[in-house]
Amino acid sequence: MKDKYNEFHEWYDEILEKADIIDKRYPVKGCLIWKPYGYKALKLTMNILKRLLEETGHEEVYFPTLIPEEIFALEKDFLEGFSGETFVIEGTLSKRLDRKLLLRPTSETVMYYMFKLWLKSYRDLPIKLYQHVNVFRYETKHTRAILRVREIASFIEAHTVHATKEDAEKQIREAIEIYKKFFDSLYIPYIILRTPKWDTFAGAEYNYDFFTVMPDGRAIELGSVINLGQKFAKAFDIKVQMADESFQYVWQTCYGVSERVIGVLLSIHGDNRGLIFPTNIAPIQIVIVPVIFKGKEEEILSKCRSIYEKLKSEGFRVHIDLTDRSVGDKYYYWEMKGVPLRIDIGPKEVKQEAVTVARRDTGEKILVKDEELVSKLKELMEDINRNLYERAKKWLNSNIHTLIDISDKSKIPEKGIVKVPWCGRDECGLELERRLGKEALGFNPEEKAHGKCPICGEKAETWLYLSKKY
Amino acid sequence: MKDKYNEFHEWYDEILEKADIIDKRYPVKGCLIWKPYGYKALKLTMNILKRLLEETGHEEVYFPTLIPEEIFALEKDFLEGFSGETFVIEGTLSKRLDRKLLLRPTSETVMYYMFKLWLKSYRDLPIKLYQHVNVFRYETKHTRAILRVREIASFIEAHTVHATKEDAEKQIREAIEIYKKFFDSLYIPYIILRTPKWDTFAGAEYNYDFFTVMPDGRAIELGSVINLGQKFAKAFDIKVQMADESFQYVWQTCYGVSERVIGVLLSIHGDNRGLIFPTNIAPIQIVIVPVIFKGKEEEILSKCRSIYEKLKSEGFRVHIDLTDRSVGDKYYYWEMKGVPLRIDIGPKEVKQEAVTVARRDTGEKILVKDEELVSKLKELMEDINRNLYERAKKWLNSNIHTLIDISDKSKIPEKGIVKVPWCGRDECGLELERRLGKEALGFNPEEKAHGKCPICGEKAETWLYLSKKY
């Protein structure tokens, strides 16, 4: 196994395939096979977000994948933003179609076309919908397993419509809270930044992105919350009659998260022995390994089975390894696959009416009495998750550097995120990107900077965050 | 509302839109929007099948949507069977691709390409996988909402690989049992027929289809179970080393079901007042309607809310209608939406510590004491489902006609399925199709016919089932 921090990409590619998360030998670049173990983790992950959306009144829908070109083209910035990435269908294997159909890179245009038909009165608002779908983007940058793909297999996009600007802004705050809870439950620490104007989502007024730092020191976007203002409402002519009988354009927001989050969390929590899953999304939470001694086979296996049945009936995702591999191989294998807890049962454990529990995150082993096992496992699970989060948080914090003076090139950190005092003007932001050789991630409008903008020398309004980026 | 039996297509189109199942005003033919109410029913339906597949050891995976043309073309019959239906991508909005990518109409080719890489030894077998995806077929026949679409939004396809022919045949039997349980739990009656040779699935040895009869008397296929034999194994060169060290081609099966099943079940169970959902897939199982009388508002609403909370905590999908529509309008609306049970609460119910429960299927109303409500509702739900199934079964049975003499055209039923004695030869089967003006659905190999084949006069081997078909 490669070193996670020094050879991150090699480590990442190796572990994803070895641990049966994905197979990237599929012969279309940027398209992956999700294997059962990886897909299970992905589903557990996305289900957390779906539950959070349902709890806040979002309803699930399904809109078509195929978009007529003329509808896609209605919002000009959107068309321009996505044109290079959007696949076009012109026919079948045996026939030309009479018009071009596009594969959705995201669903604003198909949804908003219908919203125009659905909405009559402010009483029909708000609309809060989401869908869990595949979307397609012809990425021209280097593709990377899970993190940057051409078919996004698992995209959860929410779209909302409101009668007033204030309601839309309130919705942005709700969406940010939902995503906070989501990433918190994956034990991924993050910072939330407003995208600078020159990088705003196509067709949007502004957007907030969640970022974290990968083991190679590059920032990665986890999810995006977008205030569309009235731009799409105007492009798609979506108006409602208000209480005062006037007709007004509606206000819209959208927000999305993809399977990328699971690529990120595997990267962040893993170590040089392989993956480490937080317990809530681990496809297998506990693996039982029989430690067989000659003459004791029957009592050991029988205890393994009874512990297995007990844990299963308690709702744990538990697996018992009855293959004929050696005990050492089994340890190595399940550690690599990231199973958070292992239970060893040998003659000692049988005799003492106990089991040995090994933590994947720390390697610690403890003997636990059978009757205390369930409560101890629950306690250990919480502790593992807390530990994963604290390690990750420490990593993120150690990778955010404040940089007041940019004149000394040698003091500009190569890795991680730098925050630089900024006057707030586009031209200075773009110049900061150029001089630091990093991309602007955004700024926090509520975080006031001290000092001066290093480009123009004016008083700094805020901090601009910059980093090499995925 | 139209008459379900005499104006089925008008009834169907009207109710699907009125009840918020789908919206078909989307401007690409054969592509639908699934609205929250309909999508919830679809998910509940498909989850039943996913559970059945998981219980029998199938694991969920995800394979790419985009298929390189050269891989798609490896199995010749498959290519020919799907070429007219398969969408082709040749570029993005701004660039040509260097090769053609196809949109999956079904996933044999992408999966089997990978199986070749995965499989080494008979010990790797069996493989039992499934995926729940969208697939695309450029249907040239008339499209119909849910029943015949160009984007199948919800397709569950299972694919299995076996070391021997016998294992594959055993798998076919397991798949048939799974589908039986699935359609049984939707209360859809069916017949299972082996497809005649000339209509077999592209690339298959043989397949079995599940059929039922729609309210207009046409047969519809609900699902298909396919024995692929070694055809794909040979085309994709999928071999494993056997116990005797020889290398052998593997044996494969596949089976699939789409959202079509929900279009069928809504058609079969509905009536002239609208939809009727079986309780297990009803997005709302019980609706509570307050029957307000002046001066009693508070006690009535308070009772409605407490009954609502109680039923919710018991796990029912319950809704309380607090809109300002009239009671009559509410009745009409929720009946149309197919909610299986309604609870009315007015002054009488408050006084008697009871509620009035109305059944959607029979219209029957009964007064139920509050303390007996939960158990009575469970009993009624079972009874509604049983009744829906019995009605549907009666319909199916009355639409299967035995036809010994085909010479008197006036005796050939126009609607429903006819079974005709058949010698088993293709040429006679095709001639039967022509003379009856119906399509052959298939035959049951275990059902011996009496009499003679009406075409060649030879002894009948079995019955050929024919019908007008969706």
**Considering only the top CATH level, what class is A286-379?**
alpha beta
pLDDT-based confidence at residue B1 (cuts at 50, 70, 90): confident
Is A36 in Cβ contact with B65 (below 8 Å)? no
Distance from CA of A74 to the nearest CA of B (A): 14
Subunit contact A66:B28, Cβ cutoff 8 A: yes
**H or E element that contains B462:** strand B462-467
What pLDDT does A391 receive? 98
pLDDT tens digits along B310-336: 999 999 999 999 999 999 999 999 999
| Alpha carbon of B118: minimum distance to chain A alpha carbons (Å) | 10
Asked if residue A283 lies in contact with residue A275, where contact means CB atoms within 8 angstroms, the answer is no
Tokens of B439: 């399509």
Q: What is the ipTM of this complex?
A: 0.96
Test the B interface: residue of A24, A29, A33, A112 with most B CBs within 10 Å: A33
**Contacts B66 to A, Cβ<8 Å:** 28, 31, 136, 150-151
| Whether the Cβ atoms of residue A421 and residue A428 lie closer than 8 Å to each other | no
Question: Residues of A with CB below 8 A from B138's CB?
Answer: 92, 95
pLDDT of B245-274, one tens digit each?
999 999 999 999 999 999 999 999 999 999
The whole-angstrom separation of Cα B207 and Cα B443 is 11
Which residue numbers in chain A have pLDDT < 70? none
What number is the average pLDDT over the span B154-158? 98
> What type of residue sits at position B48?
I
What pairing do the DSSP bridges indicate for beta strands B239-241 and B247-249? antiparallel
- Min Cα distance A433 → chain B (Å) is 28
CB contact under 8 A, B34 and A91: no
- Is the omega angle on the peptide bond into residue A215 within 30 degrees of 0, that is, cis? no
pLDDT at B409: 87
Interface test with A, best of B62, B99, B118, B259 (most A CBs within 10 A): B62
Cβ separation of B62 and A87 shorter than 8 Å?
no
With CB atoms and an 8 Å threshold, state whether A133 touches B134: yes
B117 contacts A31? CB cut-off 8 A: no
User: Percent helix, strand, coil in chain B (nearest 5)?
Assistant: 35, 30, 35
Query: Considering only CB atoms, which chain B residues are within 8 Å of A94?
Result: 83-84
Please tell me which of the candidates A63, A67, A87 has its beta carbon nearest to residue B33: A63
Q: Are B59 and A36 a contacting pair at CB < 8 A?
A: yes
In this structure, CATH architecture of domain A400-467:
2-Layer Sandwich (3.30)
Q: Is the dihedral of CA B39, B45, B48, B54 positive or negative?
A: negative
How far, in Å, CA of A73 to CA of A250, rounded? Answer: 20
Which of B22, B88, B107, B325 has the most A C-beta neighbours within 10 Å, making it the best mutation to test the interface with A? Answer: B88
The pLDDT of residue A161: 98
Query: Looking at residue A141, what is its pLDDT?
Result: 80
Residues B196 and B429 sit within 8 Å (Cβ to Cβ): yes
| A103–B89 CB contact, under 8 Å | yes
Phi and psi of B139, rounded to 5°? -70, 125
CB contact under 8 A, B28 and A67: yes
B253: amino acid identity, one letter:
T
Residue B94 with chain A: CB contacts under 8 Å? 83-84
Model confidence band, residue B142 (pLDDT cutoffs 50, 70, 90) = confident
pLDDT at position A271: 98
Token pair of A344, please?
Answer: 């060893």
Write down the pLDDT at residue A450.
85
Element (H, E) at B329: helix B327-336
Which residues in chain A have Cβ-Cβ distances shorter than 8 Å to B262? none
Q: Read off the pLDDT band of B458 (50, 70, 90).
A: very high
DSSP summary character for residue B209: E
- The CA angle A86-A58-A104, to the nearest 5 degrees, is 10
CB pairs < 8 Å spanning A and B? 158
Q: Is B93 in Cβ contact with A86 (below 8 Å)?
A: yes
Choose the mutation target among A53, A93, A155 for the interface with B, i.e. most B CBs under 10 Å. A93
Tell me the C-alpha distance between A409 and A415, whole Å.
14
In terms of C-beta density within 10 A (0-12 exposed, 13-18 middle, 19 or more buried), how is residue A379 classed?
exposed
Which positions in chain B touch A151 (Cβ < 8 Å)?
Answer: 64-66
Question: Are the C-beta atoms of B100 and B106 separated by less than 8 Å?
Answer: no
pLDDT tens string B88-97? 999 999 999 9
Q: Pick from B66, B84, B87: which is nearest to A151 by CB?
A: B66
Best to test chain B binding among A23, A24, A26, A45 (most B CBs inside 10 Å): A26
Query: Stretch B350-366: mean pLDDT, rounded?
Result: 98
Domain boundaries, chain B: 8-269, 286-379, 400-467
Give the CATH number of domain B8-269; options: 3.10.20.600, 1.20.1050.10, 3.40.50.620, 3.30.930.10: 3.30.930.10
List chain B residues with CB under 8 Å of A155: none
Residues of chain B with C-beta less than 8 angstroms from the C-beta of A39: 60-62
Q: How many CB atoms sit inside 10 A of residue A243's CB?
A: 9
Q: What percent of chain B has pLDDT over 70?
A: 100
Cβ separation B28–A114 shorter than 8 A: no
B362 vs A97, A175, B41, B356, B387, CA distance in Å?
Answer: 48, 44, 22, 15, 9
Q: Which amino acid is at B158?
A: A
Residues of B in contact with A91 (CB under 8 A): 87-88
**Nearest beta carbon to residue A34 from set B61, B91, B101:** B61
Looking at residues B13-32, what average pLDDT do you find? 96
What pLDDT sits at residue B450?
84
Say yes or no for a CB contact (<8 Å) between B91 and A94: no
Which of B62, B150, B65 has the alpha carbon at shortest distance from B103?
Answer: B65
Using CB atoms, pick whichever of A90, A114, A154 lies closest to residue B33. Answer: A114
Ramachandran sector of residue A217 (left: φ over 0; alpha: ψ -120 to 50; beta: rest) = left
Contact B35 A61 (CB under 8 A): yes
Assess whether the previous peptide bond of A126 is cis (omega < 30° from 0). Answer: yes
> Chain A interface, mutation test: which of B26, B70, B112, B146, most A Cβ atoms within 10 Å?
B26
**What is the rounded average pLDDT of the residues B94-114?**
95
Provide the 3-class DSSP secondary structure of residue B219: strand
Across chain B, mean pLDDT equals: 96
Is A31 in Cβ contact with B39 (below 8 Å)? no
Q: Per the structure block, which two tokens stand in for A166?
A: 């204030």
d(CA A428, CA A418): 16
Q: Which residues of A touch B25 (CB under 8 A)?
A: 114, 117
Question: Distance, in angstroms, between A31 CA and closest chain B CA?
Answer: 6
Give percent helix, percent strand, percent coil of chain A, each to the nearest 5: 35, 30, 35
Q: What is the pLDDT of residue B140?
A: 79
Nearest by CB: B89 against A60, A89, A95: A89
Cα within 13 Å of Cα(B294), Cβ side = 0
